[in-house]
Amino acid sequence: MTSLTRADVAAMIDHTLLAPEATPEQVNDLIAEARKLGVYAICVSPSMLPVRAPGLVVATVAGFPSGKHHSLVKGAEARLAVDSGAAEVDMVIDVGAAVAGDYAAVLTDIITVREAVEDRAVLKVIIESAALTDEAIVGACRAAEQAGADFVKTSTGFHPAGGASAHAVRLMADTVGGRLGVKASGGIRSAQDAAAMIEAGATRLGLSRSAAVLDGFPD
């Protein structure tokens, strides 16, 4: 962890506020804190868009958090978000399709959102890794790559099965082989957690407690 500086890690962070009870005032506070911390992006619910956040990348979610929305609804939600200023969209797959091994359905789901936003946004695919077997993690990641996604992402942070694990991140990174980014999100609360995810292959971190995590890294 000593080789990672505070600035190195900040440049990988999506500073996140996706609580259902989040208010516009809290989003404004999130943006102010993000600027102070020097993070890469903010991630907010689509209903909070548009937001004014000069100097920060604005990310949002689609099909969140269950992934059980119809693919066309996810696509429409993602397109509207991009029209409202989002530069990145984190979509949730139909996790049940991955559990069932129906990777064709996962592929179709992701393609629908990819086509909806075209090349106007970075597309991250949340696979809810804690709810999947290793085989399903690999299958979902392969579907994401085939569909033209830019990142695979571990978790929503809302699933009872849990959030990111170093094992899942390593498996995801090995599967996409550097061709896609890997975002670790869910349950990362300390510098030690963040360092473990980065060591496993994460290229982006989704954090709601960014300040506490960054305080554990040297300047």
Give the contacts of 94 (CB within 8 A, at least 6 positions apart). 67, 68, 105, 106, 109
**pLDDT for position 114:** 98
Q: Which of 145, 132, 129 is nearest to 181 (CA)?
A: 145
> HSE on the CB side for 119, CA within 13 Å?
0
Is residue 205 within 8 Å of residue 179, measured between CB atoms?
no
Is residue 216 within 8 Å of residue 193, measured between CB atoms?
no
Regions in the chain scoring below 50 on pLDDT: 1
Catalytic residues: 90, 153, 183
**Residue spans per domain, the chain:** 6-214
CB atoms within 10 A of CB 94: 22
Q: What CA–CA distance (Å, rounded) separates 100 from 64?
A: 20
**pLDDT for position 2:** 58
pTM value surpassing 0.85: yes
In CATH, the architecture of 6-214 is: Alpha-Beta Barrel (3.20)
Tokens of 175: 């599967």
Q: What CA–CA distance (Å, rounded) separates 120 from 87?
A: 7
